[in-house]
Chain A
Amino acid sequence: MTNEQMGKWQTLFHPSDPCPRFPDPYLEFRMTHTDPLVTVEHLQKYYPVNQGLFAQTRHYIHAVDDLSFQIGRGESLGLVGESGCGKTTTGKLLVKLIDPTKGHIYLGSNGSQTDIAPLKGAAVKQFRRRVQMIFQDPYESMNPRLTIYDTVAEPLVVQGIGTVIEREERVAEMLALVGLTPPASFLFRFPHELSGGQRQRVAIARALVVQPKFVVADEPTSMLDVSIRTGVMHLMSNLARRLDVTYLYITHDLAVARYMCHRIAVMYLGKMVELAETEELLQHPQHPYTKALLASVPVPDPSIKRQAAEIKGGIPTPINPPAYCRFYERCLIATARCRDDAHPPLADKGNGHSVACYAV
């Protein structure tokens, strides 16, 4: 796929378009065919809202509220949703950068699952070899005083993997893998001497250098120029296949999720409202919020009439949200039950499609 083709596709995405991806065995993935690598159960993260030095905390930001899902081995799960809905928080919880308020995260298949919460000391280091993260901002996620070599070799050094010569070789291999060739010409440059796209490739190399099985990618392309975005996405899905990596791919761009992910989970104010295989979700969205998200994807062809947004009101705050459906205030199809009952659970509607809504 040339850059022009991909660039064109980038701006021309619409749910009614055929899938932009080339026929590819990687995409024939079915969650049901594999065992889970990551299992999340009732995951919660509340942040206290401070109200002065001596006031007792009574208000909490419900950044992530009762998430349960699984990610299959080799799968790439997309996490989409508007700003502030808790995507990054979920990602950080999964890589143990922050600890959950409640809930469990398990790594591994059914028979031999490890709960990551109680891991300490050496076990955390071991865990860091299996789970890595790629950050959003390629300009801030690298220490400006370290060379590319030191940045990529850091996980190897802190984990005590290999000798100096072995590390050097591994780093060079990784740089070649992410398309920074010849590696020797990049090893001893500083981050500021690289372009945004090259830096993000370095960040990918750093995450993959310990050969992790699971990688959380937090909007890895959102800060990049559109013209180089597709190249980085292409690289990431290629590497996932070659190195057998499972992704949680966080993005707010449905077009990106469509290219990168086997399944897409839609989040709204800390809750997961819909989860389905990519094309299924895009062609047959069921939750009113997902429908609104899809309707908001810009259509470059002016002759196509744009659907009216099926949503009202603005984004409510995640501070002490109501017990009933989080989406109630903005929903056009809400019934009395939506107001009276608790937030709807994610219910399977068949075809691997789960929706959290009483009205559909």
Chain B
Amino acid sequence: MTDSISTTQSLSRESGVELDLLAREERITPVPLWRVRVKLWWRSARQNAAIFADNKIGLLGLAIILLFGVMALAHPILMATVWDARTYDPITGYSFDELRQPAPPSARHLLGTDPLGRDVLSQLMYSTRNEFILGLLAALITVTIATTIGATTAYFGGVYDMIFMRVADLIIMTPAISLLIVMCALFNPDLPQLAVVIGILSGFGGTTIIIKSQALSIRVKPFIEAAKVAGGGHRHIIMTHILPNLLPFSFLYMMFGVTAAIFSEATLSFFGLLNVRMSWGIMIFTAQAAGYLLSGVEYWWLLIPAGASITLLCSAFYLVGRALDEVVNPRLRKR
């Protein structure tokens, strides 16, 4: 480089530009930068919340999720206070005061008892926590993997990109549920292990491809070139320009990921393939194993609560995802 540029010198001094406006001693912003950033972040969060709240289905989804959240939290409290463990424990309890098991709903057992004499409501509430843990953990793993791979493959391309795309093709080509069934039959995993497996399969599979296509559309934006001209390296461009624009989509696909994970768990539990002591899928499995699956409406409390819960929680996360879609995709907004 020939002529060195004394970049630390003030522009006004160097070029003799008159800047009466800036003839001042104090800082331009009286508050430190990070406080401004927190304020801006808070403002945009409020704006996004307003857009989300405009969408009634999103609020409905959120309300359902909150309801289940309350159920999950209420179970240990009820067990510690009003429900005595011998009768109400979701796994080892037995209702001695019913003559016949399964017993229909009554004042003591609001949703009746199952074929083994256990309280259905207690089972339902106890399982809710597991469903949340499984769904959120699996979705978090999925999205972390998919975002990392999607952003980097879109940015770097080449052989690196090709390897991960072939892996994704392979996973997508294999029917996921049969793969999971074989895997569960062989290893008999517990819930966290299942969450990791689902997370990895989905993270390296379909979700990566969706997130990568989003990352590609960000990667070709002129502001990426502008960042390069500014002197930004690969890490700077990925961290400051690609990821912040990608994360809303990741969050969105996380909601859909929860739905998929809960649904997979229900299917696997129904086949009795999981090393799980209680879940909504197990509740249906228990009814089926005792021969009540096809008994119709007569024993409705064995099937409807668990089935409806699976459907409701899955759709709730889906609805929230749809409403978030409008927040992160401004083109979809109605106004």
Contacts and interface: CB of A to CB of B under 8 A. Distances in A.
A154 B27 contact: no
Please indicate which of the listed interface residues A143, A159, A177 has the most CB atoms of chain B within 10 Å of its own CB: A143
Contacts of B227: 143, 154, 158
Interface stretch (B28-36, B133-141, B192-200, B304-312): B28-36
Contact of B231 (A129, A137, A170, A244): A129
B229 interface: yes
Interface in B11-62: 11-12, 14-17, 19, 21-22, 27-29, 33, 36, 40
Closest 9 A-B residue pairs measured CB to CB? A128-B231, A155-B230, A141-B222, A112-B2, A108-B2, A158-B232, A172-B28, A143-B223, A140-B222
B97 interface: no
Contact of B36 (A133, A181, A188): A188
Nearest to B6: A211
Contacts of A244: 15
B221 interface: yes
Please classify how large the interface on chain B is, using the bins under 10, 10 to 19, 20 to 34, 35 or more.
35 or more
Contacts of B27: 165, 168-169
A158 B231 contact: yes
Contacts of A107: 2
Nearest to A73: B3
Interface of A: 92, 95, 97, 107-109, 112, 114, 123-130, 132-133, 135-137, 140-147, 154-155, 158-159, 161-162, 164-166, 168-170, 172-174, 176-177, 181-184, 187-188, 203, 206-207, 210-211, 213, 242-244
Given A114-B1, A142-B223, A145-B245, A158 B230 contact: yes
Contact of B19 (A133, A144, A173, A207): A173
A159 B231 contact: yes
Contacts of B21: 176, 181-183
Interface of B: 1-3, 5, 7-8, 10-12, 14-17, 19, 21-22, 27-29, 33, 36, 40, 221-223, 225-233, 236, 240-241, 244-245
Given A125-B231, A161-B8, A242-B17, 4 more contacts: A92-B225, A123-B1, A158-B230, A206-B226
Nearest to B248: A145
Contacts of B15: 242-244
Contact of A142 (B1, B16, B40, B226): B226
B11 A173 contact: yes
Contacts of A123: 1
A145 B233 CA distance: 19
B5 A211 contact: yes
A130 B1 contact: yes
A141 B226 contact: yes
Contact of B222 (A129, A137, A154, A159): A137
A97 B225 contact: yes
Contacts of A181: 21
A174 B241 CA distance: 23
17 contacts: A123-B1, A128-B229, A128-B230, A129-B5, A133-B226, A143-B244, A154-B240, A168-B29, A170-B10, A173-B10, A173-B11, A176-B21, A183-B28, A188-B40, A206-B226, A211-B7, A242-B15
Contacts of B22: 169, 172-173, 176, 183
